[in-house]
Structure 1
Amino acid sequence: MSERDLLLRASERLQATLPAGWDVQITASTHPEVDANLKLERFGSPVLTYRVETKRTITRADVLSLLGKQRYITERLARQTDEAEPWLLATRYLSRQIQDLLRERDVSYIDATGNIFISAEKPLVVISERGATADPWRGVGRPTTSLNGLPAALMVRALADYTPPLTVPELAKVAGASIGAAYRLVDYLKNEGLLSRVDRGPITEVDWPELLRRWSQDAPVLNANSTRGFLEPRGVDSVVQKLGKTTSPQRYAVSGSLATQPYAPYAEARLGLIYAEDPMALAADLGLRPVESGANVILAAPRSPVVFERTSTWRDITIVAPSQAAADLLGGPGRNPAEGEFLLDWMKENPDAWRRQFDR
């Protein structure tokens, strides 16, 4: 699909969302830095004109670069023509994460699958529509486009827990992943603007807070693991006491609100999240009763063993690493995301307390 084709297809999607009497017109731009103009008309009278930037594909890093370019061009054209048309991005497909980023920056967009966000203040116009949730043109064998799955879990945790510099083979080694998977994920994260890497060299910087947020969105704890609810009538603190005294051979690790208590307690924990290799056996050891509703303990059989990596001890119980706790909270229900952000703030202020160096 050429850029012209995708612009026409995207504008057709936009036209289909408009009420009777409204029309979309695509015209050529007189400015070489602007790909086209998109005009919204109502009963033949112009309402809005957008300067269009057309991209066949776009990554998060492209968006950040594009915003700077648009700002520069806007200022220069305003001096030359006294025009102040807003920008609109037209592309083949926009992921939900990039859509969110564009909305945060007040940039309007349309894609060829029908994802649309048109916003203006004068006159006041807001048009929003959802299209595809996956790129229909992406074929088998293309690069990684998600942080879901076992290899991603292993490497996201390693990228958060270890301070750069870190080569890709070193990342694969410390994460326990294949070198091929490591290169694919690093390329994806670099395109998304979540890490920096020297060409053919090491990873030099990782935006680990945003990386953990993205991981929590792509693989939320309650979706990415097999879970079951239980009740401890005497409360969550009783579970902590029992865990501290248990002699069970079961490998476990406590996450969620309880795992924040040694670092950044947000509030008294009301729900306990515990990873266990055999949740039912651990529930029996702790005397927990399975319930369909009203649970105050969630036992999860993890799909990835990374939850047992780089754990620590608190009150004689094993708790997950702060990076794991933060991701689980950010992707959890209720007040959990607020607790996750509170923990992230502590992690930013105290990196030496939880991040480590790769042992070469």
Structure 2
Amino acid sequence: MRLAKNIFSPKASRIIRVLLIHAKEGWTVEGLSKEAGVSLGFTHAVVMSLIQQGHVYRDNLYKLRVSDPVRLIQRWAAYHNYVAMNVFFRYHTFERNIEAFFSSIRKVKNLKYALTVLAGAHVVAPYVRPTTVHFYIKKAKDVETWVKLLDLRPVETGGNVSMVLPYDEGVFYGVSRVNGLKVVSKVQLYVDLFNYPARGEEAAKVVLKALEEEWRS
């Protein structure tokens, strides 16, 4: 029986992300493979590992289901390191009003993005008011366009706006639109926040509470 070496690798996490975002659904290996965008053989290996570790089980219709979504997402979050895993392009905006800055982002129509960490949490589960804005971008060559559209200034250190080239394109799965802004799924938001400094864990708890309510409903 083939098992996955690491159930939290970038490719394997695509499968976990699908399972957690749709935690109340049952899946076939084939359906999960197609939804996550990974090969059937690899999906089977990850599923077998998840079953072996008690994270996934088969119901009476032989569909795959998450045993305990909170336990699984907390394990993933403990492994995940947002700061170390991604590439950051840091800039500065002179706009101090975050709502005004969000308004500028809303006007951008043809670039793929998704807010994350404290800025994302502020939109979907307000608790900590962010002093920086982080958002995932599709490709590095988009940075120059974003800089012009948002009137950003380069910085050598620090900065209050970070464009983030993701460790895997799976971060865009389940992106939602909230008040005209695109935000990563609550699942991705939680794992990004968990080990994020500057009150990240605090904000993560609020996001997890919202997720638990969705999973119970």
Which range, TM-score by smaller chain? 0.7 to 0.9
Aligned sequence identity (%) = 24
Q: Any conservation in 2 of the 1:232–1:238 contact (CA below 8 Å)?
A: no
1:250 Cα offset (Å): 1.6
In structure 2, the residue matched to 1:47 is none
Q: 1:334 to 1:276 in 2, by over 3 A?
A: same
Quote the residue 1:160 is aligned against.
20
Q: CA deviation at 1:193?
A: 2.4
Other-structure match for 1:191? 52
8 Å contact from structure 1 (residues 276, 299) kept in 2: yes
Q: Could you report, residue by residue, the CA deviation over 1:245-285 in whole angstroms, capped at 9, with x for unpaired residues?
A: 234x2211111122223442122122211011223432332
How far apart in 2 are the matches of 1:198 and 1:246?
A: 44
- Greater helix share, 1 or 2? 2
Query: Does 2:106 correspond to 1:244?
Result: yes
**Which of 135, 145, 148 pairs up with 1:274?**
135
| Contact 1:228–1:298 (Cα < 8 Å) also in 2 | yes
Residue 89 of structure 2 corresponds to: 228
Matched, 1:291 2:155: yes
Matched to 1:252, the amino acid is Y
What displacement does 1:304 show?
Answer: 1.9
Which residue number in structure 1 is paired with residue 125 of structure 2?
264
1:279–1:300: 8 Å Cα contact kept in structure 2? no
* Change in 2 beyond 3 A, CA 1:352/1:245: farther
Alpha-carbon distance change, 148 to 282 in structure 1, aligned in 2, over 3 angstroms? farther
Q: Structure 1-normalised TM-score?
A: 0.53
Q: Rate the CA distance shift 1:219–1:279 in 2: closer, same or farther, 3 A.
A: farther
Distance 1:207 1:268 in 2: 31
1:244 and 1:341, CA in 2 relative to 1: closer, same or farther beyond 3 A?
same
CA deviation vs aligned residue, 1:183-218 (integer Å, no higher than 9, x gap): 111122222222223599321334222322322333
Residues 142 and 186 of structure 1, relative CA distance in 2, 3 Å threshold: closer
The residue identity in structure 2 corresponding to 1:242 is S
Answer whether contact 1:251 1:276 (CA < 8 A) is retained.
yes
Q: How far is the alpha carbon of 1:148 from its aligned partner? A: 4.0
Distance in 1 separating the partners of 2:205 and 2:61: 34
Contact preservation (8 Å) 2:80, 2:192: no
Q: Which has the higher contact order (CA 8 A, sep 6+)?
A: 2
Q: What CA distance in whole angstroms lies between the structure 2 residues aligned with 1:209 and 1:297?
A: 31
Q: Spell out, residue by residue over 1:44-64, the C-alpha distance to the aligned partner (whole angstroms, 9 max, x if none).
A: xxxxxxxxxxxxxxxxxxxxx
CA-atom RMSD, angstroms? 2.5
Q: Partner of 2:134: helix, strand, or coil?
A: strand
Unaligned runs of 5+ in 1: 1-140, 354-360
CA distance in 1, matches of 2:122, 2:216: 18
For 1:261, what is the secondary structure of its paired residue? helix
2:171–2:188 Cα contact (<8 Å) kept: yes
- Paired AA for residue 105 in structure 2: L
CA shift for structure 1 position 344: 0.4
How many residue pairs end up in the alignment? 212
Give the structure with the higher percent strand: 1
Letter in 2 for 1:323: V
Moved more, 282-291 or 157-166: 282-291
Give distance in 2, aligned partners of 1:216 and 1:282. 29
Whether the 8 Å contact between 2:106 and 2:180 is mirrored in structure 1 is yes
Q: Is the 8 A contact 1:253 1:308 kept in 2?
A: yes
8 Å CA contact retained: 2:124, 2:178: no
CA shift, 1:334, in A, is 2.3
1:153 and 1:304 in contact (8 A); partners too: no
Q: What's the secondary structure of 2:13's corresponding residue?
A: helix
Give the Å deviation of 1:312.
1.8
Does the aligned pair in 2 maintain the 1:147–1:214 contact within 8 Å? no
The verdict on how the C-alpha distance between 1:280 and 1:301 changes in structure 2, with shifts beyond 3 A counting, is: farther
Q: Deviations over 1:133-167 (max 9, x none)?
A: xxxxxxxx973242443322311210111123212
Aligned amino acid, residue 88 of structure 2: T
User: How far apart, CA to CA, are the structure 2 residues paired with 1:147 and 1:232?
Assistant: 38
* Equivalent residue, structure 1, for 2:10: 150
